Amino acid sequence: MSSPEIASLSWGQMKVKGCSTTYKDCKVWPGGSRTWDWRETGTNHSPGVQPADLEEVVKKGVNALVIGRGMSEALQVPPSTVDYLKQHGIDVLVLQTEKAVAKYNALAAQGVKVGGVFHSTC
């Protein structure tokens, strides 16, 4: 099962190829995607992305995970979150969202089992 391409990204809107939903923030993994609802884990811009935000994607068996910090990189990613991924043997890339989407799509096109969590505003 391959990771779906991010078809489009603009401020506050993301589309995943093969999915009719328009996301504000989203999670993607080989074979699927869904809305990333920060309220599920109490996530805020600071301290930022928590391991609980990533567990679902990690469980999908990804080898790499790309985190998009927002268009202005307002979303923080604490070292403990990066350590969590490394402890699971997952390569992690933390980038500004436009760069993160480009890197995610490149990895997906290469057949890497890549997942992502992307914040499409600030």
Q: Where are the alpha helices (DSSP H) in 1-122?
A: 51-58, 79-87, 97-109
* Contact status, residue 107 vs residue 64, Cβ threshold 8 Å: yes
Confidence at residue 31, expressed as pLDDT on a 0 to 100 scale? 96
Confidence at residue 119, expressed as pLDDT on a 0 to 100 scale? 98
- Rounded to an integer, what distance in angstroms lies between the CA atom of residue 38 and that of residue 31? 22
CA 82 to chain centre: 13
Confidence at residue 32, expressed as pLDDT on a 0 to 100 scale? 96
Tens place of pLDDT for every residue, the chain, 122 residues? 899 999 999 999 999 999 999 999 999 999 999 999 999 999 999 999 999 999 999 999 999 999 999 999 999 999 999 999 999 999 999 999 999 999 999 999 999 999 999 999 99
User: What are the extents of the domains in the chain?
Assistant: 6-118
Q: Which CATH class, in words, describes the domain spanning 6-118? A: alpha beta
Specify the pairing of strand 32-35 against strand 25-29.
antiparallel
Confidence at residue 1, expressed as pLDDT on a 0 to 100 scale? 87
- Rounded to an integer, what distance in angstroms lies between the CA atom of residue 122 and that of residue 107? 24
Confidence at residue 42, expressed as pLDDT on a 0 to 100 scale? 95
